A and B are shown apart, each in its own frame.
Chain A
Amino acid sequence: MSAPHRIAVVGSGPAGFYAAEALLRSGVPVSVDLFERLPAPFGLVRFGVAPDHPKLKQVTAVFDRIAGLPGFRFVGGIEVGADVSIPELSVCYHAVILANGASLDRRMGIPGEDLAGSHQAGAFIGWYNGHPDAAGLSFDLSAERAVVIGHGNVALDVARILLKTPDELRHTDIAAHALDALAESRIREVQIVGRGGVARARFSPKELGEFGALADCATGLDPDDLPDGIPEPPIDAGAEARANAAILRGFAEAQGGTGKRRRCLIRFGLEPVRLAGEGRVDSLHLRRPGSDATLALTCGLVVASIGRRTAPVAGIPYDERAGVHANLGGRIQADGVPVPGLYACGWSKRGPHGTIGTNRACGVETAAAVLADLAGLPAPIGNADALVASLAKRIGQTIDYAAWRRIEAAETARGRASGKPREKFVTRAEMLAVAAAAA
């Protein structure tokens, strides 16, 4: 049997795992090294999926099975682009697949966006999910009203976490620092603001529907936004838009007299113009598209959730418009010509859309491109095992999948004491210490 082809996958979120699976189950002899900059895998399943959506996180059982496939190796704690470059990888692997997600928030580009109290959704979500890069942030939750800008599921996540009671979050895997801060929150109203109408909102009906079942929060609409009621979305808006319209009608009718102490308002047809305040934000100014009249919302916290894009990687062609690595069907392209041996998968290939499983079809497509090209790719002149060993030496230890499982076991044990599925370690140092101590 010939030596297996060696593939490096960069990023251990769903796209990285599903690409690895498609390669390892192809019947072609390949081995896959899955690089991850943190000691913990799973990308947005760990750091994006909201803590009160535990069922979605059960997908990690599938990733554990993929990690057990022959030829799979997890290379944790190594940041491609900092610890090792793409050209260094290309020397040691037949192919490199970038599955590094969409880590940058799109900015609104309005005055006052950088005032204290104005944040990007990515930072807030990383904070409550215990991402090491966000664990040290703080959010001022002392004002009565917060505003979330954007009409997608991420905006709903942000608003829901702000509006749930501590008891609704206590037994989730929310980071302890976030639970403590939210327990002291004085926010009583969150407005979810978007430019479009009901038919254009990108909420999924299931997640929108959760706002009808919050323990201490009533959800409603502002009649000023939709003076003629909620229009039935056109047929071509799709079944989800029609389901959303039905749910929103329910919210509009149920308004008032609930006895609940917190309120969520879902607002339509309002475009942010500027944030104002002395040193920190105290109001958000909005206008109706097509009109000059503005209205001001007093608020102490603004979280923008208007989209994400992939962080460009040095030397990799970038599609500015789509905010992804320039690619066709997963093959990275420079000026329309494929770059041999370089591929993309997941959000860094197709943009920040879809459910977790969308990445499975995406991984299958990218893996198929790699496998089709494999015979024509030059054999690597470097040694991947030597490279991985030298990288481990650089961080002083090897974070393979067994090391991650030790970290995970320690997190689960910590969580048990407080009735949580896990209590995440929120710094790299803690994770590395646990992995080393238990080895």
Chain B
Amino acid sequence: MAYVVTDACHGCRYTECVTVCPVECFHLDEQMTYIDPENCIDCGGCAPICPVGAIHPSWQMPAGKGEWVEINRLRAAETPVIAAKIAPLPGADAQAGRLAS
């Protein structure tokens, strides 16, 4: 069990999630963040703060998003920890607007 970042983050990468993670379990690459399921303590703080609703608990994944559980596990092992907020990717606001509409 852990929380899971899905493809809604891809190209956005707002990193609001990172500021409220108590255990620094977020990792990132050029496109998005990932949660290390070994470190996540299921506090749920990141999910409601994500501007694009990209984060879901592994036991309640939306339809069609199940593969992201394993992708987070794999990519978190290969990518560096991110502990502080960074600027979102260009185009993030446009993507957030699309998702909201």
Contact = CB atoms under 8 A, between A and B. Distances in A.
B60 to A, nearest CB: 8
B47 to A, nearest CB: 8
A206 B57 contact: yes
Interface of B: 1, 19-24, 41-46, 48, 53, 57, 84
User: Looking at chain A's contact residues, is the secondary structure mostly helix, strand, loop, or mixed?
Assistant: helix
A355 B55 CA distance: 16
Interface of A: 14, 18, 55-56, 58-59, 61-62, 204, 206, 238-240, 354-361, 364
Closest 10 CB pairs of A and B: A355-B45, A357-B22, A357-B20, A357-B45, A361-B19, A356-B22, A355-B43, A59-B22, A58-B41, A55-B41
User: Looking at chain B's contact residues, is the secondary structure mostly helix, strand, loop, or mixed?
Assistant: loop
Given A55-B42, A355-B43, A360 B20 contact: yes
B42 A360 contact: no
Contacts of A240: 48
Contacts of B53: 239
15 contacts: A14-B22, A56-B41, A56-B42, A58-B23, A59-B23, A59-B41, A62-B22, A355-B20, A355-B44, A355-B45, A356-B22, A357-B21, A359-B22, A360-B20, A361-B20
A19 B77 CA distance: 28
A402 to B, nearest CB: 24
A268 to B, nearest CB: 22
B4 to A, nearest CB: 14
A360 B44 CA distance: 14
Nearest to A209: B60
Nearest to B48: A240
Contacts of B46: 357
Contacts of B84: 364
A355 B41 contact: no
